[in-house]
Chain A
Amino acid sequence: MNIYVLMKRTFDTEEKIALSGGKINEDGAEFIINPYDEYAIEEAIQVRDANGGEVTVISVGNEETEKQLRTALAMGADKAVLINIEDEIENGDQFTTAKILAEYLKDKDADLIIGGNVAIDNASGQVGPRVAELLTIPYVTTITKLEIDGTNVTVTRDVEGDAEVIETSLPLLVTAQQGLNEPRYPSLPGIMKAKKKPLEELELDDLDLEEEDVEAKTKTIEIYLPPKKEAGRVLTGDLNEQVQELVQLLHTEAKVI
């Protein structure tokens, strides 16, 4: 089975976000594999181990992304592809990323493409579905279970806490939700072998794409941090008094009623 994983390098969620010059300051920040993409990598490895085939992890990123791709290789992926757009594209968006990925994937005969449900930085959840649209293959998002029998696939998807079971077939794109699996730690032999596994580096040129072809469809007007959360207030007194005070505060202070 020919399996591809879409992977993004993102900020560590534990990282404190700082702005400078209207942009997120990346100096000294820790970068990680987008946690949802870790589920995708783990699932791809499990599917390969059960059905045979090969797992290729692709990332649209910059030179630094090699680190996260090597980690995916250490976990057990077979190959990695880095599409380095650092020098060509300053402000990409989900359209940009999806277009590039689809262009790469269009002649690869992928049976299964697995991405993360969202990237924890921009959290758009768009890249997976957009790639599937461009490749004209079916997709199922936020999956928590994947069963493959020949080309028939049964997927369980998380719908705001409920489960929805969908039957579909390969080729297919799915995006991983928390709960799909427990991503493994890279093993020591995996780590020692990661550098020797193939990692192909491509640029837009190699995909016959021009900058205009992938120009962002959106424009970022402003980036700002959410307002600091003020301390809450605990109302006291008996229940009636509390309700009265609350209603009054909603009128006079919050002015929402």
Chain B
Amino acid sequence: MNFDLTSEQEMIKRTLRQFADEVVAPGAIERDRTKRFPVEIFNQLAKMGVMGLPFPEKYGGGGADTISFAIVVEELSRVCGSTGITYSAHISLGGAPLFLFGTEEQKQTFLTPICTGESLGAFGLTEPNAGSDAGGTRTRAHEENGGFIINGNKCFITNASFAKHIAITAVTEVKDDKKEISAIIVPTNAKGFTVIDQYEKMGLNSSNTTELVLEDVRVPAQNLLGKRGEGFRQFLITLDGGRIGIGAMAVGIAQGAYEKALEYAKERKQFGKSISSFQAIQFKLADMAMKIELARNMVYKAAWLKDQGRPFSKEAAMCKLYASEICMEVTSQAVQIHGGYGYMKEYQVERMMRDAKLLEIGEGTSEVQRMVISRFIGC
């Protein structure tokens, strides 16, 4: 048993913490207000070699582990949830399926630009009528003349406006009422492919969330990702990794809100004393610190299991579920500790509370995580 980070992980944490404080934090309120995507931050992260972090060097990646990935997501999310989700989705939804299921040629062609930051990574699973029940996919891909012709709609897809290509799921065949779902890589500039960036969201305002419309989009057969008919199994595996990212994001947002609340509580005087001297406030802060520590431990454990090549699906669901729920509690309490000021954008914590809500929904709702865990414990 060893709870220490390695020297690389520690240096990654220190570097990204400094980068987040100096480069990401300053514009966070403004970006939330204007909904502007932070292109320049991702250009800098690309220059630092962070965009391909967990992927092998031969594709332009950094060869780091999943714990390091969780550390980067946490540090970015601590100051800006939108930057955190963009990065997390880029790696765990965009890059990971290409790395896990792609052929060597697909990795060279599609994973490399993701590692260098030339393209952001994105993953198109959710549809208007297929959310939690992702098997309800209606997007169809007909095979014809050695290629696929794809028709359908995807919704809530992160990063698609900045992606050069995107893996989507589609029904490739229906046999005896049973759908065969496959994953296919589609260039976003393909004819008939439209990316619509028009949602008005509750939070994560400067992240890019889009609708995809596919009308007779033609791609060559070699764009099939992984095995035909394995699309469902593949995205379940992809989501396991993504849940570590969401868990890390939750830890980061909670940590950011907690730090703000602690600092504020020490400064704010009411009844002639710092409010941090009131036990009611101390207990809130103590609970926050404890929950964040537990959530981070669970995120690290799931990431560690993944790095060891061991099963980690149950732990990934647990870390995502626990971290996202405590993140909601912690951010809400952080607003509470700030009193009326907490309700104002200037104090940052209200944004964190809005950003936090997505974590209980995206990459499997809390209910879905509980379904996954119940299955693992033998219900």
Decide if B49 touches A188 in the complex (CB within 8 Å). yes
**Cβ contacts A159-191/B at 8 Å (1 or 0 each):** 000000000000000000000000001111111
**Whole-angstrom CA separation of A81 from B10 in the bound complex:** 21
How many residues of chain A get a CB closer than 8 Å to chain B's CBs?
Answer: 14
CB-based contact B62/A188 at 8 Å: yes
Interface readout for B6-23 with A: 1 if CB under 8 Å, 0 if not? 011011101100110000
Interface size on B, residues (CB 8 A): 18
The stretch among A48-56, A66-74, A125-133, A220-228 that forms the contact with chain B is A66-74
A192-B63, A192-B64 known; A187 and B48 CB under 8 Å? yes
- Interchain nearest-CB distance for A67 vs B (Å): 7
Indicate whether A106 reaches chain B with its CB closer than 8 angstroms: no
A192-B62, A192-B64 known; A186-B15 Cβ under 8 A: yes
Chain A neighbourhood of B49, CB < 8 A: 187-190
Classify the secondary structure of B's interface with A. Answer: helix
Docked CA distance A186–B16 (Å): 9
The answer to the question of A195 belonging to the interface, with a C-beta cut-off of 8 Å to chain B, is: yes
Q: Which of B8, B11, B47 has the most CB of A within 10 A?
A: B11
- What is the distance, in angstroms, from A241's C-beta to the closest C-beta of chain B? 32
Contact at A188–B53, with CB atoms within 8 Å?
yes
* Residue from B8, B18, B57 in contact with A191 in the complex, judged by beta carbons closer than 8 Å: B8
Evaluate contact between A189 and B8: CB separation under 8 angstroms: no
Interface presence of B50 (CB below 8 A) = yes
CB distance from B246 to the nearest CB of A (A): 22
CA distance in complex: A187, B53 (Å): 11
Determine the chain B residues whose CB is within 8 A of the CB of A187 once the complex forms: 47-49
Nearest to B19 among chain A residues (CB) is A185
- Tell me how far the C-beta of A11 lies from the nearest C-beta in chain B, rounded to whole angstroms: 15
Q: Is the Cβ of A74 less than 8 Å from the Cβ of B48? A: no
Looking at chain A's contact residues, the main secondary structure is helix
A194 within 8 A of B: yes
Q: How far is the CB of B74 from chain A (nearest CB, A)?
A: 16
Given contacts A71-B14, A191-B8, A191-B15, 15 further A-B contacts (CB under 8 A): A67-B7, A67-B10, A70-B7, A70-B11, A74-B15, A185-B19, A185-B48, A187-B47, A187-B48, A188-B48, A188-B49, A188-B50, A188-B64, A190-B49, A195-B8
- 10 closest A-B pairs by beta carbon, nearest first, are A188-B49, A188-B62, A187-B49, A187-B48, A189-B49, A191-B11, A188-B50, A186-B15, A185-B15, A185-B19
Can you report 9 A-B residue pairs in the complex whose CB atoms are below 8 A from each other? A70-B11, A74-B15, A185-B15, A186-B11, A187-B48, A187-B49, A188-B64, A194-B8, A195-B8
